[in-house]
Amino acid sequence: MKSSPSLERPTIRSLHQGGSRYPSPRSLTMDCGRTSRMRPLPSRSFAALLVLLVCLLIRPVSAVLIPFDNCLPDSYRNFNPLPLQWNPVYIDARFDTENPDHSLQIIVWGNVAGSYRDVTLPPPNDPLWVDPNYTDGKILDFTRQGNKVTTLASKVNVLTYEPFSNVSSFCDYSLVNGSCPLSPVFNNTTIAIPYGNLPSVNLTANMGSSYAFASLAATLQIIYGDELATHIGCASATVTPDLGGIHGLLRYLPLVVLLFVGFATMFASVFSPWGSTDIFHWTANYGRDADLLRLVTPGFGDCLQYIQFVALTGGLTLNYPGFYQPVVSQVSWSALMFNESFVSKSPGWQSIQDGIYVTNGSYGLHRYAQMVGMADVEDIWAGTMVWVCVIVAALFVLIQIGFFCRWVLRFISDTPEEDLRAKNIPFS
């Protein structure tokens, strides 16, 4: 059922600015194209230049689809006969990380199903669906049974703290691209992007903080106006804002600690009372004094393994908080996981979209790979092996260069080799 032109869904920009209608970026681009073909009159050229400048300054506001849960009880959703309910189909979100208000915007597209009374509903093409006097199978604004108005209750939680909550009339102030009595949309074929005939409701809140290192749990509930205040619709989603400047600290601080541990281990191996300046001695544990072993343990390798353990826990398929995988993915370098695709040759995955972290995977390792920047999980093992080979080859070349320089120095100074044991291959 197609809605009237006055009830067409406004753009996300119009929802954010009080429902006023603004021209879409596409229409502005078309206008720019038309002005460039005008006759070169001075006044029109100046107007065309102004329009072009406006087009360049406009930054379209978009949102990205996110996973969600239908939080209605299964006993209600699967009851026979099917009770009246609103089923969420798509949810997209956007978080403003630049402005100090830090506005959060969540839009839920859904469809009506079932009936409040146990009746046989007409077929999809029946004219009763467009008859406002026929109310079966439709969401009403006001019900005679409860003498109440159908409402939309929305809230945002951060752990046990609730920074935002709101209750408004579902039909009068919340519903977009539809009107009450709200009937099902039957021509909702598979849509690539949810800008079609489906009605929607939205949550818009000024959070007042970046909420970095946290997750926002948003819930939207539709409460029917009957005597029991039946919950006929519920959608919940977790939004994880961008870490912002914290991600640099999370990425490089473990690296600094690792390098410091490596330097401390080398310093203790050389300058301790049991140490040696011979590189063949202090780089190996063989033949070391027990006191020196206790001094340099844990060392560089142990610290690296600790960091790898923290990084790889993000690949487990567990119900982590939303911020956990973005945080531990910052040290993916410890497991040689980088934004490179050697197998699938995919362009990569942009994990931060519209100010929030977005993944599209069923398992933890796939989501973790997308946090790193790899779109396909098959690139993880191959990429790690490639980088291991690169590091081994580079170290081998450096060691051979070192042995060659050592031989050149002995050859120039005419110093005979006292230790005739082979060291090149074992050390390499």
In this prediction, residue 428 carries a pLDDT of 61
Confidence of residue 387 (pLDDT cuts 50, 70, 90): very high
Task: Compute the distance between CA of residue 386 and CA of residue 77 in angstroms, rounded to an integer.
Answer: 50
User: Which residues have CB under 8 Å from 263's CB, separation 6+?
Assistant: none
CA separation for the pair 199, 3 (Å, rounded): 9
What confidence score (pLDDT) does residue 391 get? Answer: 92
Residue of 311 and 339 predicted with greater confidence:
311
CA distance 60 to 364: 32
Rounded to whole angstroms, the Cα distance separating 93 from 240 reads: 10
Helix (H) or strand (E) holding 152: strand 151-158
Instruction: Pick the range with the lowest mean pLDDT from 21-25, 256-260, 308-312.
Output: 21-25
Banded pLDDT at 421 (limits 50, 70, 90): low
Residue with tokens 């590189």: 279
For residue 328, what pLDDT is reported? Answer: 92
Taken in order 135, 138, 141, 146, is the CA torsion positive or negative?
positive
Q: Which domains does the chain have, with CATH numbers?
A: 68-239 (2.60.40.10), 245-396 (no CATH)
* Range scoring the smallest mean pLDDT among 83-97, 110-124, 191-205, 366-380: 191-205
Q: Which pLDDT score is estimated for 8?
A: 38
Residue 106 pLDDT? 92
pLDDT of 307 over the 90 cut:
yes
Section 374-378 average pLDDT: 84
6: DSSP letter: G
What pLDDT shows up at residue 420?
A: 56
Read off the pLDDT band of 132 (50, 70, 90). Answer: confident
- For residue 13, is pLDDT > 80? no
Place of tokens 């798509």: 90
Coil, strand, or helix at residue 111?
strand
Phi, psi dihedral angles at 178 (to 5 degrees): 180, 170
Q: Is the pLDDT of residue 272 over 90?
A: no
**In Å, how far are 268, 372, 374, 423 from 317, measured between CA atoms?**
41, 16, 17, 46
pLDDT at 388 over 70: yes
Per the structure block, which two tokens stand in for 296? Answer: 């340099």
The predicted model gives 354-382 an average pLDDT of 87
Q: Where in 195-326 does DSSP place strands (E)?
A: 200-206, 216-223, 231-239
pLDDT of residue 107: 92
Residue 271 pLDDT class (50, 70, 90 cuts): confident
Q: Is residue 415 scored above 70 in pLDDT?
A: yes
> How would residue 177 be classed by pLDDT, with cut points 50, 70 and 90?
confident
Taking the complete model, does pTM exceed 0.85, yes or no? no
What is the percent of the chain with per-residue pLDDT over 70, rounded to a whole number? Answer: 79
Measured between its terminal Cα atoms, the distance across the chain in Å is 74
Mean pLDDT of 63-77: 86
Which SS3 state, helix, strand or coil, does residue 161 take? strand
Helix H segments across 36-129? 42-57, 74-77
Mean pLDDT of the chain: 79
Q: How confident is the model at residue 321 (pLDDT cuts 50, 70, 90)?
A: confident
For the segment 222-228, the average pLDDT, to the nearest whole number, is 88
d(CA 149, CA 226): 8
Contact indicator for 239, 104 with CB cutoff of 8 Å: yes
pLDDT reported for residue 118: 84
Q: Is the pLDDT of residue 235 over 90?
A: yes
**How far lies 40's CA from each of 37, 46, 49, in Å?**
9, 10, 12
